[in-house]
Structure 1
Amino acid sequence: MGEIKELWCPPIEQLVCEIKAVNRAWKAASELFGEGCPLSTSSRDLKTCLQVRLLRCYAPKQVYLAIDKRADGEKLYSLYLREPIENWRDADHLPVRVAKEVLKHEDSKRD
């Protein structure tokens, strides 16, 4: 049973590094090929899935959501880390509308 938990909840450091790497890939793909290209949308969706996994495994003790008051335009959550990981204080942004949609969908799958 422990092996399955490790697959679903890898170490927080691993998840944060994966989120950061996928976020960079998403931004690069968007700049190179446009936001609507399959590589861009797939990278964006993978980042969201990793962020949800981070929240499911480690919130609220090690990570929490808070509105980023510095963001312009669309409302964004930052996934703040209670302790820095490789000098990162957060695990990037998650649009509020996406968080509501994805977390609601995830909760309905459990019922």
Structure 2
Amino acid sequence: MAFEYLVDLEECVSILENFYDLITEDRADWNHEGDIMLPARSVVELSRDDLTPGQSNVAENFDIYARQLPEYFNAFFSLDRARFDPATALDGWLYDQTKKEIARVPQDHWWWKLLEEPGDA
């Protein structure tokens, strides 16, 4: 599927690369870097066919790291999940092939959901 990028794909990949230091820190009210990570991750996933192998590795490493630290991931993105609307989450990021509609976040984008922590059953 073709998209119109409102934020450069390379910039979205770069945003994901900054994730590692941030997730283990307390997220202050003024820290808006987290606000852009989940939309950036969705843009990268929706653009999977356009990624270089190195960019694909960044996305895969983001996923591995997040799943290894679910308690930090859940805490860091708790506000983002509370405000999440799949119809508007990518507003200002990506439009569909008609260039009129905001791309919707697919249900299989697990990073918008609460991760199970080890021991939860």
Q: TM-score, normalised by structure 1?
A: 0.39
Structure richer in strand, relative to its length: 1
TM-score, with length taken from structure 2: 0.37
Larger fraction in helix: 1
* Bigger relative contact order, structure 1 or 2 (CA pairs below 8 A, ≥6 apart): 2
